[in-house]
């Protein structure tokens, strides 16, 4: 899978995810839509994704499970795409000398700061994922984040800059390796090893019960729910049911 990515660079797009979704039928499996500048970068929960033009990676990978030997992915296993994407970012960053972890469900953190965010948008056909647009923003060379208080970048973490073009080629190599783990146990195992705050007593906000508590992340279920233990009681959470208090 390593050499089949087709990287398409645009100087400016509203959002690489939006562009990929608009033309999903025209893009082949493993097309990578990359923009030097996004005018309306989209984040989770309808938020904006801010990124200084030309300094960072903002791109979307089009996946068409079932094409080119890529295994089909059932809707039940959709969280595996979060695992693949998150771990690809973590291993890409590790090559650049940055030790990062996966803040479930969609963020990549360096210590207590966010370096990357992921927005996956799937189209379904019955019980299977027909296509997936995996949108990833990775802060590379930006050192000043006026809109954000907890952001960091490769440059801030290591002191070194990297060209966005070279970085994307490197990222795709890591993504190619990681996606080959789909369907194997080592995908979940490696994901668990990289989980932010796992095994440590930390404070969380439970949005279902409307309370804060000190708990320990134990892992993530196969279907992608976060497992947190408070004393002897273990609970699992879906997206948006729990918040981290950092
Ligand atoms: C988040 O942390 O809220 C997710 C951010 C995802 C941002 C990336 S940048 C490339 C792609 N295009 C978008 O509009 N969003 C994603």
Query: Three-state SS across the chain?
Result: CCCCCEEEEEEEECCHHHHHHHCCCCCCCCEEEEEEEECCCECHHHCECCCCCCCCEEEEEEECCCCCCCCCCEHHHCHHHHHHHHHHHHHHHHHCCCCCEEECCCEEEECCEEEEEEEEEEEEECCEEEEEEEEEEECCCCCCCCCCCCECCHHHHHCCCCCHHHHHHHHHHHHHHHHCCCCCHHHHHHHHHCECCECCEEEEEECCCCEEEEEEEEEECCCCCEEEEECCEEEEECCCCEEECC
Q: What is the pLDDT of residue 1?
A: 47
In short, whether 60's Cβ falls inside 6 Å of ligand 1 is yes
Choosing from 18, 41, 45 the residue with most ligand 1 atoms within 8 A of its CB, the one to mutate for a pocket test is 41
Query: What percent of the chain clears pLDDT 90, i.e. is strictly above it?
Result: 96
| pLDDT surpasses 50 at 173 | yes
pTM to 2 decimal places: 0.97
Q: What is the pLDDT of residue 147?
A: 81
Can you identify the CATH homologous superfamily of domain 6-193? Bira Bifunctional Protein; Domain 2 (3.30.930.10)
Position 117 confidence tier, pLDDT thresholds 50, 70, 90: very high
Q: What is the pLDDT of residue 186?
A: 95
* pLDDT (tens digit per residue) in 159-171: 999 999 999 999 9
Choosing from 10, 86, 117 the residue with most ligand 1 atoms within 8 A of its CB, the one to mutate for a pocket test is 117
In short, whether 86's Cβ falls inside 6 Å of ligand 1 is no
Q: What is the pLDDT of residue 3?
A: 55
Q: What is the pLDDT of residue 2?
A: 44
């Amino acid at each position: 899978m390593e050499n089949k990515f087709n990287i398409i660079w645009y100087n400016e797009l509203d959002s690489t995810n939006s562009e990929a979704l608009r033309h999903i039928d025209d893009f082949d499996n493993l097309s990578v839509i990359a923009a030097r500048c996004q005018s309306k970068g989209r984040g989770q929960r309808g938020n904006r994704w801010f990124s200084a033009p030309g300094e960072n990676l903002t791109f979307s990978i089009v996946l068409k499970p079932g094409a080119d030997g890529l295994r089909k992915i059932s809707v039940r296993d959709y969280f595996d795409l979060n695992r693949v994407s998150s771990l690809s970012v973590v291993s890409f960053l590790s090559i650049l000398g940055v030790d990062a972890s996966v803040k479930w469900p969609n963020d990549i953190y360096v210590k207590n700061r966010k370096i990357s965010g992921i927005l996956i948008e799937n189209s379904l056909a019955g019980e299977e994922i027909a296509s997936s647009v995996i949108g990833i923003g990775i802060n590379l060379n930006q050192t000043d984040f006026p809109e954000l208080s907890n952001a960091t970048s490769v440059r801030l973490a290591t002191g070194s800059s990297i060209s966005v073009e070279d970085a994307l080629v490197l990222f795709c190599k890591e993504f190619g390796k990681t996606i080959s783990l789909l369907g194997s146990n080592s995908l979940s195992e490696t994901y668990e090893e990289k989980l932010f705050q796992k095994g440590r007593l930390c404070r969380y906000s439970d949005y279902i019960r409307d309370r804060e508590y000190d708990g320990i992340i134990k892992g993530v279920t196969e279907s992608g729910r976060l497992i947190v233990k408070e004393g002897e009681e273990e609970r699992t959470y879906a997206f948006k049911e729990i918040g981290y208090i950092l």
